[in-house]
Amino acid sequence: MNPPNRSIVYRVSRSGHVMGEYDIDRIVELLDSGEFLWTDLCWAQGMAAWAPLSNLRAEVAAVKAFPVSAAMPTPVASGRRRMQAPSAQMAAPQTKAPSVAGWMWIVGGVTLGALVGLLTTHLFPNVVTVDRPVEKVVEKVVEKVIDRPVEVIRIVEKRVEVPSLLSDEQKAAQVFFRRFFDMSDRKEGTRLLKLSDRVKVITNISGGGSYAFSAGLARTKVESAFRSQGFKVLSEQSKEYPFSVIYVDGAFVDSGTSPGLSVAGSYGIVICQPITYLSAFDQTPPASIVIKGGDVPLYERTGVLNYGSDHFNKIVQKYESLAQEAAGELRKAYDN
C-alpha cells in the first residue's frame, strides 16, 4: 500500500450544499467522528464529476496505515552533526567555587542559543505556509530579502470548472428545453384529440331578444347532454387539466312590436381545446421565449332561427339537440 497523496483538497457536499474544503486527513477524522457520511459527495481537481466518499476507501485506509507523524521525517539542520550534550563528568560542579561554575553554565547556554539562532537565521530560509484552496495554485519562489534567502509562497488565481449539482426542477427544465428544440420528437396534432373526458361549459348568449328564453336553462340542458355521454362537467374556476371547452353562443333580436312578438337570431355550439405554445422555434434563450395560450376549435355547429312568442321554448330545445350531437362526436373521438 502506498502513502496517501496529502496535497489533494476535496470539496464535500451534502444535499446540494457544499460544506467546505478538506484534505484527506481531515476527511478521515470527520468520518470517524460521524460528522461526515460515506454517502456525502466529494470533488477534487481532476475528477470528472462528484462522487460519494465511499470511493475514497482506499485513500482512507492509506491515511490510517501511514499517519502524519510517521510520514514526516525528523529535520536535521543543513546536514551538520548534532552537538553532543555535556557529559556528566563535565557537568559536575567544582568543589572550590560551586556558585561561579553554575553561573558559567547559564551564561554559556544563553550564548550558545544565541549563536545557533543567528546561524539558523542566516543559513536557512523562513517558510511561509498558507492554506491551498481548490481554486488557487501555490507557487514557491526563493528570493533574497536583506541579503538572506527567504522562501515566499505566492497565490496564483486559476479558474477551475466545478460540476454543478442541479435540483430535480432544473434537470426537468433541461429535458423540456432539449425536447422542445428536437424536431424529431414532435407529434402532429389532429382534430378532436383524445385528451380528456372533462369539459367546461361557457355561455355567451347576447342581444335584446335573449330575454324571451332562459340562457341558464339552455346551459343546464347542454351540461346534461355531455354528462349523459360520460363526461365530467367542471366549473369555470376548476384547475383540473386537461379539459375541452364547450362554448354555447347566440345573438338574438326581437321584432319590437306587439302582439305576435317574434325573436330571430343565430345560435351555435363550438368545442375547443385550450393549448399553451411557445412563440420561438429556434435556439432562443429561455428568458426570451414568449409563452402564449389559445383555443383550437375541434367541432362547430351553428344555425339561424325565427320563432314567435308561442314557440320560444323551441330555442332551448335547439341548444339541447345540438349539445347531444356535439357530445356524441366528442365521445367517439375520446373512445378512439
Q: Are residues 115 and 186 in the same domain?
A: no
Q: What is the pLDDT of residues 242-283, one digit of tens each?
A: 889 999 999 988 876 656 678 888 999 999 888 777 766 566
Residues 39 and 151 in one domain: no
* Strands (DSSP E) found in the chain: 9-14, 17-23, 41-43, 51-52, 136-144, 149-157, 198-206, 232-234, 244-254, 262-278, 291-308
Which span out of 59-68, 206-215, 252-261 was modeled with the highest average pLDDT? 59-68
User: What Cα–Cα distance (Å) separates residue 75 from each residue in 6, 40, 72, 117?
Assistant: 19, 38, 9, 16
Q: From CA 297, how far away is CA 308, in angstroms rounded?
A: 33
Question: Is residue 93 assigned to a domain?
Answer: no
Q: Is the pLDDT of residue 231 over 90?
A: yes
Q: Say what the pLDDT of residue 32 is.
A: 93
Mean pLDDT on 56-72? 80
Whether 253 and 199 map to the same domain: the answer is: yes
CA 251 to mean position of chain CA atoms: 52
CATH of the domain at 25: 3.30.1490.40
Distance CA 198, CA 305 (A): 30
Q: Each residue of 73-106: pLDDT tens digit?
A: 444 333 333 434 444 343 444 444 444 455 555 5
Same domain, 180 and 292: yes
Using DSSP, state whether 328 is helix, strand or coil.
Answer: helix
Least trusted range by pLDDT, from 103-112, 176-185, 195-204, 285-294: 103-112
**Rounded to whole angstroms, how far apart are CA atoms 233 and 34?**
57
CA-CA distance, 329 to 336, in Å (whole number)? 11
109 inside domain: yes
Of the candidates 285, 325, 293, 318, which has an alpha carbon nearest to the alpha carbon of residue 304?
318
Buried b (16+ CB within 10 A) or exposed e, 249-288: bbbbebeeeeeeebbebebbbbbbbeeeeeeeeeeeeeee
Asked whether residue 82 is assigned to any structural domain, the reply reads no
In a domain, 290, yes or no: yes
Tell me what pLDDT residue 89 has.
40
In the predicted structure, residue 10 carries a pLDDT above the cut 90: yes
Residue 38: what pLDDT? Answer: 94
Instruction: Judge if pTM exceeds 0.75.
Output: no
Higher pLDDT, 136 or 293: 293
**Residue 190 pLDDT grade (very low, low, confident, very high; cuts 50, 70, 90):** very low
In the chain, count H helices and then E strands: 7, 11
Region of 237 on the Ramachandran plot (φ > 0 left; ψ -120 to 50 alpha; else beta):
alpha
How far apart are the C-alpha atoms of 267 and 247, rounded to whole Å? 11
Q: Cα–Cα distance between 54 and 46 in angstroms, integer?
A: 18
Structural domains of the chain, count? 3
Taking only the tens place, the pLDDT of each residue in 292-336 is: 777 888 889 999 988 877 788 888 999 999 999 999 988 887 776
The residue range of the domain holding 136 is 98-157
